[in-house]
Chains A and B, each alone.
Chain A
Amino acid sequence: MNFAFRLMFRDIRSGDLLTLLLALVISVSTVTSIGLFIDRLQLSFEQESANLLAADRLIRSDDDIPKEWEAKANELSLQAAQRTSFTTMMFAGDSLQLSQLSAVTDSYPLKGAYLVDDVLFGTGKRSTDTPKQGEIWVSSRLASLLKLNLGDQVEVGDASLKVSQYLVRDPGSSTSAFAISPRAVMNMADLAATNVIIPGSRVRYSLLLAGSREALDEYENWITPRLSEGQRWQTPTQRGERIGDTIGRAESFLLLAGTLAVVMSGVAMALASARFVKRHLMQVAILKTIGATPKLLGQLFLLQLSILFMVGALIGLGIGWGLQEIIASLLSGLMSTTLPEPSISRLWLGAATGLISMVVFCLPLMSRLIKISPLSVLQPNARIELNGFAIYVIGFIGMFGLMCLYTNGFLLPSIMTAAILGIALFVAAIGWLAFKLGRSLTSGATSGWQIGLASLYRRLIPNLFQLLVFTLIIMLTLILIGVKSSLIADWQQQLPEDAPNHYLFNVQANQIDQINSDTTQLGLKKSDWYPMVRGRVTAVNNTTIQSLYPEERGEPELYERELNLTWSDTLGKGNELVEGDFFAEGLSVELKAAKEANLEMGDELTINIGGNIITLPITSIRTVDWGSMQPNFYLILPKSALEDYPANFVSSLFISDAQAQAFYRAMAHFPTVSILNVGDILKQIQTIVGQLSQAIQLVLLCILSAGALVLLASVRSTLEERLEEGALLRVLGARGALVRQALLVEFGALGFFAGLIAAIGAETCLLGLQVFVFNAEASFHPLLWLLGPAIGIVVISTIGIFASRTVLKVPPVLLLRGL
């Protein structure tokens, strides 16, 4: 075996092993860095969402939380806290106000922090404490409504509590738009003394948990069968719709990017393996002539590959880790928070990618290699069939398996695999046609143009293969660029700088004029007023909801709860008519809600509005841009149906930090008006989007460099033949310029076709991805059609000329002999 090492050392010296090593390092490091980076981002999202939840997990219940639930949490060494929220009347002096009150245990919040201030309408400082026994924190709005100052007493039921802080934000505050009213938080220990919770009160009990993932999973398994109706297990990933969407899509993007990196690595490994085998044909044949047995050769290559794998994986993991650290630190310069450390356990993914791609791409070729008959290598007329069908199949299955492993699912790998197969067929057909045409144009090669095109045709099979590789790499690049730009554009469009960040609810008709003049005076931009009447859908086409959904399970949102109904003379901002006539005397339903409830034009809904029953047909369906932060409604009724009911009005507006204090003071004149500030949530979304956009750009850059390396490797793999040909041409008397022109034409044409086909493939893939993975609308990407061929021509001819520059410099005699 000493011999094996010596042979390997000599192989390394000649650079033949290095190509394989390089491919291995590229694949391990790309997959590792992206894998680790995604992990860090995910951890960071989870942390941020945990802050919103105030815990890692939460159980919501309509009834008191059983004692043993908390005991179980302690048993699993989980941190636990409880929160009890309800609406109650609060009194101070001769003022009274209905408020949203929560009582929390001392350990609350497990994640995130309160923002409190000792100045009315202040911006707040972080506090992970809770109000002490006998104390209460009230929101500035509640304080101004009840005319409270710090140190004043406020009465909650039978108890009297001292105001010790102004509450700015509650870490677990619900993002639901209708959980509004002045808020306060008190200590759980005082709750019993208030006597406000009596049987039948509407109370929401929460048990909050935090701890290791394993313990949480175990707890989830334990609790799930014990949950009854009205009790829900919540994880941070079930986030508010907008954040969830944003992060979900970014995760999909990163996953996609990682998958594409896996494919690229596979291509790189396949290329390098093929080159390795080609370069070792002669070695194997000669070793065999001098008596090397297949067994010995097998051991020899296995040993070489094992050492290669270990070295390559180590280097790759190292580089991957470093790269990911660089991306993270570049990013943390732009982010307020630092990313959490990645989990070391994620490293196996990179190593596994390296191992599997070596096994599926190298081993089958190697086993063929050692079986090759030496005579057929040495006999110039014999054809050596190395790339059997089986080898492609193994490679394909391996690649698919890797993608599945990577994405933990089948959807994305299936789309990608179908795309690659489709592209392969397409390339075969198109390429063959194109080259065939090319030849008929090139009979009698005299110019560089003709020599280049003729040369394309002469090596039809290798060129088609190369075309396929180029196409794949360019296509993957285009897909990523396409997804990236549409994602970022989407987000930016979703969240304009001055998107409304406050809602006004419960406004009475007679208050509208005053509020309008106040806001105009303050220079605030406000949406229209929408009248709001509460009502519930009770029947569809005269069948009651109860009989449609007897178990109350899977009830569409439209029927589940009381809805806010409105009427409007205009199709509001962010609304778009899909079907029907908005102004007809009937219902206008939001598209997604209609789909969820299987409703169509003409279906009749029966609605109970404060005891009165009306039945109306659906006369229009519209889409709503929920990101617009305008007041939006599932159901819009004709004015005639609603005008006799007492309505509240709702509006939304943008208030900058500078205007906030003045606005809150002005609104203190309207104690019954509820104000919901969604600015914090919006800001959080905006930061996350900002971070994600940066992250995505960096990951894209990473993959593009990997792609460029693969292209380089691919060009290099045919370099030997091209060198020979270039030298031969020059021996035959061609000028250097002619050879250069021929090469340029050859690579340029390959690049152009690859780019064009890649654009077709990318557009098709994007369609599939948008519809199936990103759940977005399909759209057309004209940029790709320009970018594809441009990248193809420019990048491939540059790489080609760069890699083949030796052809033009080295004396032909040397080349002919050296090969």
Chain B
Amino acid sequence: MKWFGKMTTITLAATLLLGSYSGSATAAASKLSGKIVINGSSALLPLSLQAASEFKKLHPKVRISASAAGSVTGPQSVRKGIADIGACDWDASTDVPGFKKFDGQVANKVAVIPFAAIVNKSTGVTELSTKELQDIFSGKVTNWKEVGGKDADIVVVNRAFGSGTRVNFQLKALKGTDFISKGDNYKEVKSSGDMKTAVETTPNAIGYIDLVYVTDKMNAVKIDNVAPTTDNVINGKYKVWSYGYYMTKGQPTGATKAFIEYIQSAKFQNGSLKKLKFIPITAMKGE
């Protein structure tokens, strides 16, 4: 095991050297080097990972590590200085319900994320009004027959407080109405994947999710008769969407700047980003 220890020391020393260069990347693009740590929103993680692997092919000397815990972790890690980019589903340089703004941080738009209200197939429901959504998620309506479905209890599946999806859904789909937080037919889940599984497999369940994750094993309901589609988001009819942001401490510099520019470039926006079923930020001309 001696070779092993030796190698570890060598690589350790090498990376320490490399690491100390971060931030001072001013050389030509291919010589760009440095370390970028991304943390925050898990909804933006697939995007970050894809962009990172493409970016690393262009700039092999840049070291990118990405992780995700929750939207607010992004700007918080940036403030603490343990991440260079904080992915967040809302503009964390402004106040949103439950979270104060982060001073001194810059919000860089990277994508448009649409959200959909989803129900289990067994409900037979395909359309709900904003009022009905508000009543269901606040616990005023507890049976599907009150909103045009069959006679069955409504099972509400919610994301945990602080989830970016939850913040946006509450803000845009429920117009700020509070969620219920208790009851026999209420549960909270930790991630988009859990939400998907829960609504797919629980009879009479309702929840909400990023449009990307919607499958044909669930119904994504029309809200006020507008279907949640990419086209309806772009033409302004469907309102339940938000920008995804990369928060940085001040204006981004060095490798971080180059990375964000790469994500915002037409090549990435109209290529991989679209393939990941996000909407390019340039598509939202009306905003």
Q: Do A and B bind each other?
A: no
